[in-house]
A and B are shown apart, each in its own frame.
Chain A
Amino acid sequence: MGKSDKITKRNFLRQSLAGVGTAIIALKSSHLFAKTFSFMETAPVNPDGGLGKYHKESPYYVVTPKGVKCQICPNNCILREGLDSICRTHVVKDDKLYTIAYGNPCSIHIDPIEKKPLFHFLPAATSFSIATAGCNLACLNCQNWEISQQSPRNSQNIELFPSEVVAEAVKNACKTIAYTYSEPTAFYEYMFDTARLAKARGIKNLLISNGYINEKPLRNLAKYMDAANINLKSFSEDIYAKLNGGSLQPILNTLKILKEEGVWLEITNLIVPTWTDKMEMITEMCGWLVKNGFAENPLHFSRFFPLYKLTSLPYTPEPTLLKAHSIALKAGIKYVYIGNVPGTPYENTYCPSCKKNIIERRGFTILTNNLKSGNCKFCGTKIAGVWN
């Protein structure tokens, strides 16, 4: 090897630095790019393990050799210190499970109850609506993704502990408190304590949820809930996995449990083109609902608008919604509605017996009400719901 073939010291240092630097960047980049094809996010790192001000110990967990297992929802996250749950609202410290979504909602508004949608529960009531950040699913078309796919640590929150929520609801003359926008299962403890206080004050509690919750926490919660709208996103395990990052069976269980517990229930199904618009699946879904005793529970078919990550799909055509509506009625569901189509006659409530228009609605406004003590004024048929 000649003299000219030897590498100089400067060259060696320079190239070593370059090599090490490149390796560091590659490793860091691969960490940043780690979740390449995953739509079920792995648990994000909670770097400091700190609890912050807005925490409370959760009642639903068990300590296992692998870590602390949260038992609130079917994700059943097994956590160690430094890791957040999939819903981003639960952490572990000293072998205890804590929520960090307690008293720190990021979204507070007053909405008409029909917006939830709840059509057969206290019509025209206003609802004091709250949510913290976090969600146990990851729907590609989430309407509130900015808070649902976010940790309460990073969202812009307002301090409002349970007793203050109730006080605000009273102050604003709201008959109901709705746990909504993101996913109330993610702030279960906050919702539970607030609902308990609200019930004591005579305020009704509304659960607007994806229904992805385990039986025990649900049954305990149901004692304080008065009404629920559960989003039955599809009737397919495969679609639930790919579109929502969840599973169908737990939602079906939730529907049954809520019914058993006497919570007034309405169901929403968003019809997403190419995903959940297959009439065979809708037929199967309606058949299951009727078979399992939900014929009297209103079913809302909602029109899809491109949102969040599902922006390449078209809007749901109106004829598709009408077909679904027709299938549901034929299957035996008595009260079927279409949402997000202004001016549609299917915002009205029709008597399942005489077919007359009992409650005429336009948007969130009730134009005429032909109910008499919860019965059709024309033929006397009892109309399912909680009317006052």
Chain B
Amino acid sequence: MKHKVAIRFALFALGFLSVSTQVYLIRELMLVFNGNELVFGVSLANWLFLTALGAWLGRFSTRVRGKFSFIVFLLLLLSVLPVLMIIKLDFFRFLVFPYGSMIGLRELFYATLVIQLPFCLINGYLFIALSLLGSDDNDWTNVPEAYSVESFGSLTAGLIVNFIFLWLVNSFLGLILVTVVFLALVTLYAWFGGRRISSIITLVVVMVIVTGLSLPDFQSIAERLLYKDQRVLADEGTPYGQVVITENEGQLNYYENGFLLFSTGNLIRDEENVHFAMIQNPHPEKILMVSGGLSGAMEEVLKYQPKSIDYVELNPSLVNLSHKFTNQPESNVIHTHVADARKYIREADGFYDVVLVNLPEPSTIQLNRFYTIEFLRELKSKMNPGAVISLSLPTTSDYVSEQAGKLNSSIYLTLKKVFSNVIVIPVDKNYFLASDSFLSIDIPDMIKTKNIPTAFVNSYYIDTSQLKERSSYIMKNISADIDVNHDFRPVAFFYQLNYWLSYFGDNPWIIGIVLVLLGVIIIITLNPVSAGLFTGGFTGASTEVILVLALQIISGYVFQMVGIVIMIFMLGLAAGAGVRQRSFRIPQIKHYLALQLTLSCFSFLLPFFLLWISSLNLPGWIIQVNLAGLTFCISFITGMEYRVASCLTRHDRVKGITTNYAAELFGSAFGALVVTVFLIPLLGFINTGIFLAILNLTSIAVLFIRRKKTVPLHNGSGKFLLL
């Protein structure tokens, strides 16, 4: 009994450390490598692949002598790796790659592989080793229970890290605290495992490690590496990401997640962001500015003496820090709102004359929400007749590449669906202005007529004839064959991703083909039960992504809610794997088929449900509860699938545990990457749901056809097609 209790402590600890490390590591990766969804997807996929590989190696754990001591040794080794990984990441980044440069996908792939390899291999190995240690041939339920316990550990980590640590302490300190908790659990494992001396030694090692890790100020060292030649004035870890303000020769630079948001004293950008749109409206009285108002743009807006400026910014830390370090204009017409801009617009009173959307290009699905037809329609409903909107994309004033052309086209056509007039002003960025009123490209002349004082946006720096020529050049490269950008079909995000990949000469389709081929190879080498887990893992990860995105689209970006959805997913997995219902006492093939069929129906119906619920005007909390419930359902089914699969493969316990766990991880890895980068942007939510349904139906068909060879006979004999 104590032995089982000990193993449960170890499994719980493993889940706890794994998810904590994943959260911090991915945050750091996004910060150091200036991440977008593809960066996130590749990093996560590498993590899952390597863990699956470690799990596969776990099959050899039965041959290890002195298993217990070896496991304790590995657990201790695992405990120091998270902090070392972050340190390695920061050093690696700047020792290997040129300072300040963006990293391409290939480099990222190898970098994350090297950095994550030790932790993930050991993590995967330990899960299998502990599962095997805690199970025997007579009781197959120990295997899904191991999965369940580990999932509870993950859930606990998610709660503590997302809702406590991230708000209160920096990454290094957070990881050290996580390490302390982990090692305490390892000590309990050693104690309850009957190794009191080992547990005392572990405790001593804990204290030494924690002391050792706490001594150097890693945070400052990392800052000096990341922000070379700059003095760090503020470094705040917020749930929305890391906000850092640096100073260099009096210029302040604001970074969020490693991205430079703005530098002070950049008149060109501030004026372009404001005047192109403001000058179009004869009497701009009520202004809405979405982000980008802390750099100096607000002063430009005030030159028009508006009656009201509503400034919306998502991250409260940015607002607070900017007031502390930068001279923000004091005016009673400025009203700052800390909120998700889409949520704000839906709930806003009144109507605007000018809307300035000063966000980066749609490089993430989260940002893409501000370039969709649904957003523009919502916005228009809060705009006065003839009001003007401005948004921007990377510049193509000298040349329009194929990839940039598609991006420009998508945004242009999306705007054109909502507004009668759209013009493009190509300067340092491509500014898209849209309105139902006439729009003029003769900006310098209008500035002069209205006598607005500007340093850059005037006839001295901008020649109207050249502006018209370049604008006309961009318009010639607008293609009518390109898709309009939607919330539930974010094509502009895919075009932007494609454009980003062209920086490095990469083609996303090659990545897609490689993934598909790898996926097919993995599926055909697996037995039908494990293949079902692969598709189940794929579906589970995909639907989790869909639900998180839907939450953002429908409710706006609420970080805590996203964290809650992920926690509920973990809870569902744990509950599903641990369920002890009478009808599942000895699960059979028909139960497994039924679960897969349920997954298939669920994935098919989910997008329709999401579209329906988004069309209703329900209060935010009802939507969130619904989405949370759906999340629990999908993860519960996935967890149950694992439980049933464990029974069906119980006759070769070692291979069964290893293959099942690895298959599910592989499936999740594929799901996370493929659905974010390809399926949702290209197919949209509905077609992605159909794709997932077909995938599961295919898995059902294969299993049904080969069911007699797969299911063990009652007397325990029979052949099994297992790896």
- Chain A: residues with CB nearer than 8 A to chain B? 4, 8, 11, 14-15, 17-18, 21-22, 25, 28-29, 32-33, 35-37, 39, 106-107, 109-112, 140, 144-147, 149-150, 155-156, 181, 242-243, 273-275, 277, 305-306, 308-315, 317-320, 340, 342-343, 362-365
Chain B residues within 8 Å of chain A by Cβ, number: 63
Closest 6 CB pairs of A and B: A363-B461, A363-B460, A317-B249, A362-B460, A317-B251, A342-B456
B250 contacts A25, C-beta separation under 8 Å: no
One digit per residue, 1 when the CB lies within 8 angstroms of any chain A CB and 0 when it does not, for chain B 219-255 equals 0000000001110000000000000001011110100
Instruction: Give, as a whole number of angstroms, the nearest-CB distance from A368 to chain B.
Output: 13
**Is B369 located at the chain interface by the 8 A CB criterion?**
no
Q: Does B34 touch A at the CB level, under 8 Å?
A: yes
Instruction: Report Cα–Cα, A8/B706, bound state, in Å.
Output: 15
Inter-subunit contact A109/B461 (CB<8 Å): no
Per-residue CB proximity of B569-604 to A under 8 Å, as 1/0? 000000000000000000000000000000000000
Contact A317 B250 (CB under 8 A): yes
Asked if B109 is an interface residue, CB under 8 A from chain A, the answer is yes
CB distance from B517 to the nearest CB of A (A): 5
Given A25-B514, A39-B98, A112–B229 Cβ distance below 8 Å? no
Chain A: minimal CB distance from B409 (Å): 14
Contacts of B404 in A (CB 8 A): 146
Residue in chain A with minimal CB distance to B477: A156
- Measured in the bound complex, the distance between the Cα atoms of B518 and A181 in whole Å is 42
Knowing A110-B466, A144-B398, A363-B460, say if A14 contacts B525 (CB, 8 Å): yes
Whether A156 touches B398, Cβ cut-off 8 Å, given contacts A310-B101, A319-B249, is no
Nearest neighbor of A41 in chain B, beta-carbon distance: B505
Question: In whole Å, how far is A15's beta carbon from the nearest beta carbon of chain B?
Answer: 6
Residues of B within 8 A of A (CB): 34, 96-102, 106-107, 109-110, 228-230, 246, 248-251, 253, 258-260, 263, 265-268, 396, 398-402, 404, 428, 455-456, 458-463, 466, 469-470, 473, 477, 502-503, 505, 510, 514, 517-518, 520-521, 524-525, 719, 721
The answer on a CB contact under 8 Å between B469 and A14 is no
Subset of 10 A-B contacts with CB under 8 Å: A4-B719, A8-B721, A29-B514, A37-B107, A107-B399, A146-B502, A156-B400, A309-B101, A311-B260, A363-B461
B312 to chain A, nearest CB (A): 25
CB atoms of B505 and A149 under 8 A apart? yes
User: Within the complex, which residue of A140, A340, A342, A363 is in contact with B98, where a contact is CB–CB below 8 Å?
Assistant: A140
How far is the CB of B266 from the nearest CB of chain A, in Å? 6
Complex CA–CA separation, A106 to B400 (angstroms): 9
Separation of A265 and B209 alpha carbons in the complex (Å): 63
Closest to A143 in B: B398
Contacts of A274 in B (CB 8 A): 99-100, 228-229
A residues in contact with B109, CB < 8 Å: 33
Q: A11-B721, A17-B524, A181-B398 are in contact. List 8 more A-B contacts (CB 8 A).
A: A37-B96, A147-B398, A147-B401, A156-B401, A156-B402, A273-B100, A312-B102, A315-B251
Which residues of the partner chain B approach A315 to less than 8 Å between Cβ atoms? 251, 253, 263, 265-266
The reply to whether B460 and A364 form a contact with Cβ atoms under 8 Å apart is: yes
> Are B228 and A312 neighbours in the complex by a CB distance under 8 Å?
no
Nearest neighbor of A24 in chain B, beta-carbon distance: B517
How many angstroms between the C-alpha atoms of A39 and B99 in the bound complex?
Answer: 13
Determine if B100 and A317 form an interchain contact, defined as CB atoms under 8 angstroms apart.
Answer: no
A25, B512: Cα distance in complex, Å: 12
The verdict on A145 contacting B100 (CB below 8 Å), with A14-B525, A18-B525, A25-B518 known, is no
Chain B residues with Cβ under 8 A from A149's Cβ? 505
Q: Let me know if B100 and A313 touch, CB within 8 A.
A: yes
Docked pose: A364 CA to B461 CA in angstroms: 6
User: What is the CB-to-nearest-CB distance from A37 to chain B, in angstroms, rounded to a whole number?
Assistant: 7
Provide the residues of chain B in CB contact with A106, threshold 8 Å.
399
Quick check: B106 and A342 within 8 Å, CB to CB? no
Specify which chain A residues have a CB less than 8 angstroms from the CB of B229 in the assembled complex: 273-274, 277
- Chain B residue nearest to A242 in the complex (CB): B98
CB-CB under 8 A from A310, the residues of chain B are 100-102
Could you tell me the distance in whole angstroms from the C-beta of A148 to the nearest C-beta in chain B? 10
State the Cβ distance, B97 to closest chain A Cβ, in Å.
8
Query: Does A319 contact B102, Cβ atoms closer than 8 Å?
Result: no
Find out whether the CB atom of A314 lies under 8 angstroms from the CB atom of B260.
yes
The answer to whether A314 touches B398 (Cβ under 8 A) is: no
A309 touches B524 (CB 8 A): no
A274 CA to B248 CA, complexed, in Å: 11
What is the chain A residue whose CB lies nearest that of B507? A32
Smallest CB gap from B230: residue in A = A314
For residue B414, give the distance in angstroms from its CB to the closest CB of chain A. 23
| A363 CA / B447 CA spacing, docked (Å) | 16
Cα A273 to Cα B260 in complex, Å, equals 13
- A4 / chain B contacts, CB cutoff of 8 Å: 719
Report chain A residues within 8 Å CB of B460: 362-365
User: What residues on A are CB-neighbors of B477 within 8 Å?
Assistant: 156
Cβ contacts under 8 Å, B246 to chain A = 314
Contact of A28 among B102, B259, B514 (CB under 8 A): B514
Contact, CB under 8 Å: A305 / B107: no
Check B258–A364 contact: CB distance below 8 A: no
A138 to chain B, nearest CB (A): 11
A365/B106 in contact, CB under 8 A: no
Closest residue to B405 on the A side, CB-wise?
A: A156
A244 vs B551: C-alpha distance in the bound complex, in angstroms?
44
CA A21 – CA B520 in complex, angstroms?
A: 10
Cα of A314 to Cα of B514 in the assembled complex, Å:
37
Q: Which residues of B contact A28 (CB under 8 A)?
A: 514
In chain A, what residue has the closest Cβ to B459? Answer: A365
Chain A residues near B461 (CB, 8 Å)? Answer: 342, 362-364
Roughly how many angstroms separate A317 CA and B249 CA in the complex, as a whole number?
A: 6
- Asked, given contacts A109-B466, A365-B460, whether A21 binds B398 with beta carbons under 8 Å apart, the answer is no
State the Cβ distance, B68 to closest chain A Cβ, in Å. Answer: 31
Complex contact B98–A33 (CB within 8 A): no
CB distance from A369 to the nearest CB of B (A): 15
Q: Which residues of A contact B469 (CB under 8 A)?
A: 109-110
Residues of A within 8 A of B524 (CB): 14, 17-18
CB distance from B678 to the nearest CB of A (A): 17
User: Are A312 and B510 in contact (CB-based, < 8 A)?
Assistant: no
Bound complex: CA A114 to CA B30 (Å): 40
- Residues in A neighbouring B396, C-beta threshold 8 A: 146
Q: Which residue, of B98, B249, B260, has the highest number of chain A Cβ atoms within 10 A?
A: B249
The complex places the Cα of A309 from the Cα of B506 at a distance, in Å, of 14
Contact residue among B99, B249, B260 (Cβ-Cβ distance under 8 Å from A320): B249
Given A22-B521, A318-B265, A362-B460, do A107 and B99 touch, yes or no (CB 8 Å)? no
Q: Which residues of A contact B518 (CB under 8 A)?
A: 22, 25
Q: A109: which B residues are within 8 A, CB to CB?
A: 398, 466, 469-470, 473
Q: Is the CB of A340 within 8 A of B521?
A: no
Least CB separation from B505: chain A residue: A149
B428 contacts which chain A residues (CB < 8 A)?
Answer: 305
Docked complex Cα distance between A315 and B251 (Å): 9
Q: How far is the CA of A11 from the CA of B502 in the complex (A)?
A: 42
Which B residues touch A156, using CB under 8 A?
Answer: 399-402, 477
Distance (Å) between the CB of A186 and the closest chain B CB? 14
Q: Tell me how far the C-beta of A200 lies from the nearest C-beta in chain B, rounded to whole angstroms.
A: 27
Bound Cα distance A343, B503 (Å): 33
Which of B34, B402, B521 has its CB near the most chain A CB atoms (within 10 A)? B521
Residues of B within 8 A of A308 (CB): 102, 503
A115 to chain B, nearest CB (A): 9
Indicate if the CB atoms of B265 and A312 lie closer than 8 Å.
Answer: no
